[in-house]
Amino acid sequence: MKRQVAIGVLYSRSGSYQLLGEASRCGALGGIAAVNADAARSITFVPVEHDPAGRIEAYAPLCTDMLTQTSARHVIGCITSWSRKEIIPVLEKHGGLLWYAAPYEGFEANDHVIYMNAAPNQHLVPLVAHVTARYGRNAFLLGSNYIWGWEMNRIARDLVADAGGEVRGERYLPLGDTDVSRLIEEIRATLPDFVLNNLIGPSSYALYEAYAALGREDERFAAELRPIVSCNLTEQELPSIAPHGEGHLSCLPFMWNGAAGPRSSFEAAAHAAVVMLADAIEAAGTDERDAVRQVMAGLASDTVLGRIRIDPRTQHAGLPAKIGRIRGARFDILQESDGAIAPDPYLSRYDPTTSMRPPLRLVR
């Protein structure tokens, strides 16, 4: 008889980032189904699912309910850093562990979080190195007015300076705001070599549409000359910007190749988190948080992201970096790392003389 283990699933299915929430939820439930269907496993997962519906004030109470009213000790969930930071005190109080499957801005390492998607040295550093070498060094930085936008643009300012460029402008929009006309006029006036897009959801979709219109009016802003580049735009959202996203770039740990299974990096990271958790519970013989963390120090799991190890010092995954150009509903991979890049969430090992030339190989 297999042992049943409760597992929390905490994703919003509505709100500004509902597509990303849906993708991550799909990945988590797909991972649970894969674990439960594996005859060689000694455990089965029983999902305990709550939907915060995009309301930041709902995350902590729902996480509390999972950890106090059920036997769940582990939660797969959260998209934004804001929501992650909301539930960390709950995790600390009740001994839970969050498996966080979204890319984020780094500069955090918490004993109650496993970071399963990319940190800045795994997405922003290789992306800026790629575009400054090929399109030019001058950037325009955009972001939604919350943690992701603020911190990603703060790091980007330093990276652009290290590449010998300048930031021609930096602007923010409230979450969900789709009035990008002022941003487009500033981009037209300052003529950057690329636009770093840290907008979220509908704001981001509006940007691509308006930028495509700008490119039709002024050929200097064609995607092949002055691209929009991103670290969180995935296949899940490409239909929402079609055909306006054609030719623009993204840097992600996973890009869909048409195979069965996850079809975006959010989905793939959530799926991988569930598989790695199952491996850790079986190795530890328990789902108790400290025991799981202890065995993960020597654990390598085969996942849809590749063979993944967790750095025991920071609890971040080593991950590949892929840079792709949008073509329809998928990406053409332009460059990718040779295997996983070791996590460096605080950029403590960052060296501009080498990091602006990351170990990416050209894909032909």
Question: Which structural domains are found in the chain, ordered by start?
Answer: 3-118+257-309 (3.40.50.2300), 121-255+321-362 (3.40.50.2300)
Query: Does residue 363 register a pLDDT over 80?
Result: no
| pLDDT recorded at residue 358 | 53
| pLDDT recorded at residue 316 | 98
| pLDDT recorded at residue 324 | 98
E-strand stretches of 254-305: 300-303
Torsion of CA 63, 47, 318, 363, to 10 degrees: -120
The answer to whether the beta carbons of residues 132 and 160 sit under 8 Å apart is yes
Q: How confident is the model at residue 359 (pLDDT cuts 50, 70, 90)?
A: low
The answer to whether the beta carbons of residues 244 and 212 sit under 8 Å apart is yes
The answer to whether the beta carbons of residues 95 and 72 sit under 8 Å apart is no
Across-strand partners of 43?
3
- CB-based contacts of 149: which residues, under 8 Å, 6+ apart? 142, 143, 172, 198, 199, 200
Question: For the residues 23-45, what does the mean pLDDT come to?
Answer: 97
CB count within 10 Å of CB 218 equals 12
| pLDDT recorded at residue 135 | 97
Structure-block tokens of residue 103:
């890319």
Across-strand partners of 10?
50, 77
Which candidate, 257, 310, 318, 261, places its Cα nearest to that of 118?
Answer: 318
Q: Encode pLDDT of 66-96 as tens digits.
A: 999 999 999 999 999 999 999 999 999 999 9
Question: For the residues 112-129, what does the mean pLDDT come to?
Answer: 98
269: amino acid identity, one letter: A
| pLDDT recorded at residue 364 | 62
| pLDDT recorded at residue 28 | 98
Whether the bond into 89 is cis, omega within 30 of 0: no
| pLDDT recorded at residue 1 | 84
| pLDDT recorded at residue 354 | 80
Structure-block tokens of residue 66:
């999972």
% of the chain at pLDDT higher than 70: 98
The answer to whether the beta carbons of residues 54 and 46 sit under 8 Å apart is no
- CB-based contacts of 258: which residues, under 8 Å, 6+ apart? 330
% of the chain at pLDDT higher than 90: 93
The answer to whether the beta carbons of residues 310 and 316 sit under 8 Å apart is yes
Question: For the residues 219-236, what does the mean pLDDT come to?
Answer: 96
Query: Does residue 265 register a pLDDT over 60?
Result: yes
Structure-block tokens of residue 229:
């580049």
Q: How many CA atoms lie within 13 A of 243 on its CB side?
A: 2
Q: Encode pLDDT of 97-119 as tens digits.
A: 999 999 999 999 999 999 999 99
| pLDDT recorded at residue 184 | 98
Q: Using alpha carbons only, give the angle 202, 204, 205 rounded to the nearest 5 degrees.
A: 65
| pLDDT recorded at residue 361 | 62
Query: Does residue 355 register a pLDDT over 80?
Result: no
d(CA 126, CA 120): 9
d(CA 276, CA 286): 14
360: amino acid identity, one letter: L
Query: Does residue 252 register a pLDDT over 80?
Result: yes
Mean pLDDT, the chain, integer: 95
Question: For the residues 160-187, what does the mean pLDDT come to?
Answer: 96
E-strand stretches of the chain: 3-10, 43-50, 74-77, 97-100, 113-115, 139-144, 167-173, 194-198, 228-230, 249-252, 300-303, 306-309, 322-327, 330-337, 360-362
Which candidate, 250, 269, 310, 252, places its Cα nearest to that of 102?
Answer: 269
Q: Encode pLDDT of 284-335 as tens digits.
A: 999 999 999 999 989 999 999 999 999 999 999 999 999 999 999 999 999 9
